[in-house]
Amino acid sequence: MAVAMPKPSAAILSRRAAIVDALKAIVPGEGVVDGITGMRPFETDGLTAYRQLPLVVVLPETVGQVAAVLRYCHQQDIPVVPRGSGTSLSGGALPLEDGVLLVMSRFNRVLDIDFDNRCAVVQPGVTNLGITRAVEHRGFYYAPDPSSQIACSIGGNVAENSGGVHCLKYGLTANNVLGVEFVTIEGEVVRLGGKHLDGDGGYDLLGLMTGSEGLLGVVTEVTVRILQKPETARAVLIGFPSSEEAGACVAEIIGKGIIPGGMEMMDRPAIHAAEAFVHAGYPLDVEALLIVELDGPGAEVDHLLAAVEAIGNANGAVTCRVSQSEEERAAFWAGRKAAFPAVGRISPDYYCMDGTIPRKELPRVLAGMKALSERYGLGVANVFHAGDGNLHPLILYDANKGDELHRAEAFGNDILRLCVEVGGVLTGEHGVGVEKRDLMPEMFSEDDLKHQQRVKCAFDAKHLLNPGKVFPQLHRCAELGRMHVHKGQVAFPELPRF
């Protein structure tokens, strides 16, 4: 796939040896990787269609090293791309030819577990699941659960504001992070929030940092909220003859005041692919399948399961099965969680989209997708976080066949345009990165994007942190700073006064 990245600076490339030496003086030992073989594993992230070797890879071990590297790069005008575990699905950690790739994986320690204050303080390279592992002996867990949770780092989760199956009930990363320490591009260490609520009492910089895709600062410590695990969880599998009926069922569940721990939908191609792969016991004669998981005290789960079953039946369900054991609940989820690799078995390549729509627009969007599928001559399988309207269409293509890759990209872009058209957004949890960067004007006006970039200018006026991501066009901060209001030319409106 082709995506225009900022033109590499010939001056930086020509100074590479000196830059590597300077970085080795800051991070000793194995912490600087400059050989092609050593750098090869870092040339891409979870969006493998894009590849680029960085100028050099740096793996710092201390906050002091991070600060020194950033200070040096700021002085020398060298771009820096931060990277956690490299699981981004939008190319957020795609390296730059003239940029330092700052890999945070050695920041892998759990610093403090404070059960009384229900929080954990960890370094950014700790994996999402690693936090839960560190606190589960007391029955606690960390709620946001992106499907890459076994590998993805909490620092990356902060950068992407990651979601997951359970965010309908428990919120996104932004709702579960209490504080961060980060280093600015100028090498200053800043702490936001901590074990207390509401950050620092001033502007919500923590809210701005979360989801900023590595463009504002490099996170070196994270304080997260941990929760006691629900007493019990059970899932129900409900099959429908059409996606309209499944959609109506979802709307009624929410309308009745039930917020399930998770509510997922799969369409026929996704159901068949998953069943063939993991034999989850899914019905194969339905057009849409819902997995609804209810968690909480046993009494609540029993009460709500009965309610959800009744709603399913009232909306034309043809199958309805409640998990009778933990093994069965896990089996229900196994198919959904394996949906991506399952689709990978039936198609040489697939391209995963991530738009979000108002739930009620699901039938319209699925119909639109079907028409697009015919127009582009490519199949599509759908898995869908039904509770919060987050779609994951998987476009099936073969990169070795003619222009299929090109068609898949065009198909994907049309799906996202459709999402925006019905009141939705380009990305629900995967981030903009490089992948959806050039689609941003579909959703935002020039002034909208300029105001987002002004946040960037407050943090990184030289545009050195992760350039080429998120924003389709990088305006120089000096240009953004100009005011366009002319004295005396503004008509003063006649406004009611009292």
Partner 1 sequence: MTPQTTPAHPDALRPQTIDDVREVVAAAVAAEEPLAVEGTGTKLGLGRPVQAARTLSLAQLCGVTLYEPEELVLSARAGTPLAEIEALVDGHGQRLEFEPIDYGPLHGLEAGQGTLGGALACNLSGPRRLKQGAARDHVLGITAVSGRAEVFRSGGRVVKNVTGYDLSKGLAGSFGTLAVMTDITIKVLPKCEAETTLVLRGLDDAAAAGAMAAAMGSSAEVSGAAHLPMRVAARIAEGALGREAATLLRLEGFGPSVAARSAHLGAALQGVAPLERYQGAASAALWRDVRDVRPFVDGTDKPVWRVSLAPTQGHELVMQLRMQAAIDAFYDWQGGLVWLRMEAGEAEADLVRATLARLGGGHATLVRASAAVRAATSVFQPQPGPLAGLTQRLKVQFDPKGVLNPGRMG
191, 364, 417, 462: which one binds partner 1 (CB under 8 A): 191
Chain positions 1 to 60 lying near partner 1, rule: CB under 8 A, are none
Chain positions 370 to 399 lying near partner 1, rule: CB under 8 A, are 385, 388-390
User: φ, ψ for residue 291 (rounded to 5)?
Assistant: -110, 120
401, 454, 473, 476: which one binds partner 1 (CB under 8 A): 454
Q: What angle do CA 393, 398, 402 make, to 5 degrees?
A: 125
Site string for partner 1, 283-322 (x = CB under 8 A): -------------xxxxx-xxx------------------
CB burial string 169-193: b at 16+ within 10 A, e below: bbebbbebbbbbbbbbbbbeeeebb
Binding of partner 1 by 478 (CB under 8 A): no
Structural contact between residues 81 and 54, judged by C-beta atoms closer than 8 angstroms: yes
Task: From 76-84, 263-271, 395-403, 426-434, give the range in contact with partner 1 by CB under 8 A.
Answer: 426-434
Chain positions 227 to 286 lying near partner 1, rule: CB under 8 A, are 228-231, 251-252, 254-259
Question: Considering beta carbons, is residue 38 or 297 the nearer one to partner 1?
Answer: 297
Binding of partner 1 by 413 (CB under 8 A): no
What's the Cα-to-Cα distance from 221 to each of 9, 104, 115, 155, 214, rounded to whole Å? Answer: 32, 11, 18, 8, 14
- Dihedral-angle region of residue 33 (phi above 0 means left; psi in -120 to 50 means alpha; beta otherwise): beta
Chain positions 342 to 361 lying near partner 1, rule: CB under 8 A, are 356-360
Smallest separation (angstroms) from partner 1 to the CB of 149: 17
Question: Considering beta carbons, is residue 3 or 113 the nearer one to partner 1?
Answer: 113
Q: In what order do the strands lie in the sheet with 380-385?
A: 319-322, 232-240, 288-296, 262-267, 380-385, 390-397, 349-352
Task: From 39-47, 60-68, 126-134, 454-462, give the range in contact with partner 1 by CB under 8 A.
Answer: 454-462
Smallest separation (angstroms) from partner 1 to the CB of 18: 29
286, 353, 443, 465: which one binds partner 1 (CB under 8 A): 443
Binding of partner 1 by 171 (CB under 8 A): yes
What's the Cα-to-Cα distance from 467 to each of 3, 74, 99, 347, rounded to whole Å? Answer: 13, 13, 9, 33
Question: Considering beta carbons, is residue 212 or 373 the nearer one to partner 1?
Answer: 212
Question: Considering beta carbons, is residue 34 or 213 the nearer one to partner 1?
Answer: 213
CA distance 240 to 318: 6
User: φ, ψ for residue 193 (rounded to 5)?
Assistant: 65, -160
* Six-digit token string for 197: 């609520």
Binding of partner 1 by 479 (CB under 8 A): no
44, 161, 243, 466: which one binds partner 1 (CB under 8 A): 161
Closest by Cα among 420, 424, 416 to 388: 424
Q: What is the DSSP letter of 257?
A: T
CA distance 80 to 72: 11
Question: Considering beta carbons, is residue 378 or 469 the nearer one to partner 1?
Answer: 469
Task: From 46-54, 267-275, 323-331, 417-425, give the range in contact with partner 1 by CB under 8 A.
Answer: 417-425
Question: Considering beta carbons, is residue 8 or 363 the nearer one to partner 1?
Answer: 363
Half-sphere exposure of 165 (CA within 13 A, CB side): 20
Question: Considering beta carbons, is residue 374 or 447 the nearer one to partner 1?
Answer: 447
91, 424, 467, 468: which one binds partner 1 (CB under 8 A): 424
Bridge pairing between strands 218-225 and 227-228: unpaired
Task: From 67-75, 109-117, 281-289, 321-329, give the range in contact with partner 1 by CB under 8 A.
Answer: 109-117
Binding of partner 1 by 495 (CB under 8 A): yes
Smallest separation (angstroms) from partner 1 to the CB of 171: 7
**What type of residue is 186?**
E
233, 328, 413, 444: which one binds partner 1 (CB under 8 A): 444
Q: What is the DSSP letter of 153?
A: B
Task: From 267-275, 285-293, 335-343, 451-459, give the range in contact with partner 1 by CB under 8 A.
Answer: 451-459
Structural contact between residues 245 and 290, judged by C-beta atoms closer than 8 angstroms: no
Name residue 288's beta-bridge partners.
240, 267
Binding of partner 1 by 188 (CB under 8 A): yes
Neighbours of 291 (CB within 10 A): 24
Task: From 51-59, 67-75, 124-132, 182-190, give the range in contact with partner 1 by CB under 8 A.
Answer: 182-190
Structural contact between residues 168 and 295, judged by C-beta atoms closer than 8 angstroms: no
Chain positions 199 to 228 lying near partner 1, rule: CB under 8 A, are 199-205, 207-208, 210-212, 228
